[in-house]
């Protein structure tokens, strides 16, 4: 591998928390010699990409500054936040905005509900498409080629409720395509459920929006219209900011 590839491996090893990690931890995760890992960590620290602390290394502020200006996520987040706040005020539940990266969802923004429902999602974190409401919404409108690819693989399981039967997943995707809404019940986290809707730009699904609640008070009939309306608002806001061709 090139030095650039090794450096990226080191940075990527800090998923999902950002650190702190000891030198031995980073070396083991990257499968690189400790001497190489130590040298590259020192160089990355000089650039501000990592910081060294008493309990180990953490990701540096320079990466946060760069990440915050990634055009797609920045524009998407700026357009979505007003609608996310409105949705939060209407429901008082946790609101997510996510995009697709390969076969995973990556969370761009999260507004946490007052009760602090324990969820595995975090901004910048990723989860399987098939185990989340936002993931199903994204997958349903990603095109037949990707759907066939996902259905042709062993489906990942996060909880005993995760869908691992291909026919059941296919049915849920067809339902999402027909209604514009995707549902998840205890598939990513026991005790939680969510409803999600796709966000479009120029006719392409670029993100998904969801509301997550404890399963005991999950009321799809009340939440679904609010989520769908907010997702439509974000899509319209993105269309207004699309530069002319």
Sorted by where each begins, the domain ranges of the chain are 3-66, 71-240
- pLDDT, residue 241, reads 67
Count Cα atoms within 13 angstroms, Cβ side, for 201.
18
- pLDDT, residue 62, reads 86
Q: Which CATH architecture has domain 3-66?
A: Orthogonal Bundle (1.10)
Q: Residue 117 phi/psi, 5° resolution?
A: -55, 125
For residues 127 and 210, what is the distance between their CA atoms, to the nearest angstrom? 14
Find, among 73, 131, 124, 71, the residue nearest to 103 by Cα. Answer: 131
- pLDDT, residue 115, reads 65
The superfamily (CATH) of domain 71-240 is GAF domain (3.30.450.40)
For residues 105 and 196, what is the distance between their CA atoms, to the nearest angstrom? 13
- pLDDT, residue 175, reads 96
For residues 131 and 187, what is the distance between their CA atoms, to the nearest angstrom? 5
pLDDT in tens, 197-227: 999 999 999 999 999 999 998 999 999 999 9
Using DSSP's 3-state secondary structure scheme, residue 121 falls into: coil
pLDDT in tens, 48-85: 999 999 999 999 988 877 877 776 677 898 899 999 99
- pLDDT, residue 242, reads 55
High-pLDDT (> 90) share of the chain, % = 79
Q: Which token pair is 36?
A: 């190489």
- pLDDT, residue 245, reads 41
pLDDT in tens, 149-183: 999 999 999 999 999 999 999 999 999 999 999 99
Tell whether the model's pLDDT for residue 187 goes beyond 80.
Answer: yes
pLDDT average, residue stretch 112-133: 83
Q: What is the mean pLDDT of the chain?
A: 91
> How confident is residue 147, by pLDDT bands cut at 50, 70 and 90?
very high
pLDDT in tens, 15-40: 878 889 999 999 999 999 999 999 99
For residues 179 and 197, what is the distance between their CA atoms, to the nearest angstrom? 9
Flag whether the pTM goes above 0.75.
yes
Distance of CA 28 to CAs 23, 139, 244, Å? 9, 34, 49
- pLDDT, residue 65, reads 78
> How confident is residue 116, by pLDDT bands cut at 50, 70 and 90?
low
Tell whether the model's pLDDT for residue 111 goes beyond 70.
Answer: yes
CA torsion sign for 65, 67, 73, 75 is positive
Query: Highest mean pLDDT: which of 10-14, 194-198, 215-219?
Result: 194-198
């Amino acid at each position: 591998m090139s030095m650039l590839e090794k450096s990226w491996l080191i940075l990527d090893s800090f998923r999902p928390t950002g650190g702190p990690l000891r030198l031995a931890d980073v070396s083991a995760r990257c499968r690189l010699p400790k001497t190489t890992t130590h040298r590259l960590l020192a160089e990355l620290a000089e650039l501000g990409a990592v910081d060294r602390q008493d309990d180990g290394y953490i990701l540096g502020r320079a990466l946060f500054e760069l990440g915050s200006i990634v055009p797609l996520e920045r524009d998407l987040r700026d357009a979505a936040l007003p609608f996310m706040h409105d949705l939060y005020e209407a429901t008082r539940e946790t609101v997510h905005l996510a995009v697709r990266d390969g076969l995973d969802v990556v969370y761009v923004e999260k507004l946490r509900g007052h009760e602090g429902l324990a969820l595995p999602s975090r901004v910048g974190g990723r989860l399987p498409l098939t185990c989340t409401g936002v993931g199903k919404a994204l997958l349903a409108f990603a095109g037949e080629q990707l759907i066939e690819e996902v259905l042709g693989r062993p489906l990942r399981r996060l909880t005993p409720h995760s869908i691992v039967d291909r026919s059941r997943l296919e049915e849920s995707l067809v339902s999402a395509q027909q209604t514009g809404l995707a549902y998840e019940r205890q598939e990513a986290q026991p005790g939680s459920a969510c409803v999600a809707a796709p966000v479009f730009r120029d006719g392409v699904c670029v993100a998904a929006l969801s509301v997550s609640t404890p399963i005991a008070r999950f009321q799809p009939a009340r939440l679904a219209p609010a989520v769908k309306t907010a997702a439509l608002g974000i899509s319209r806001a993105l269309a207004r900011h699309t530069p002319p061709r």
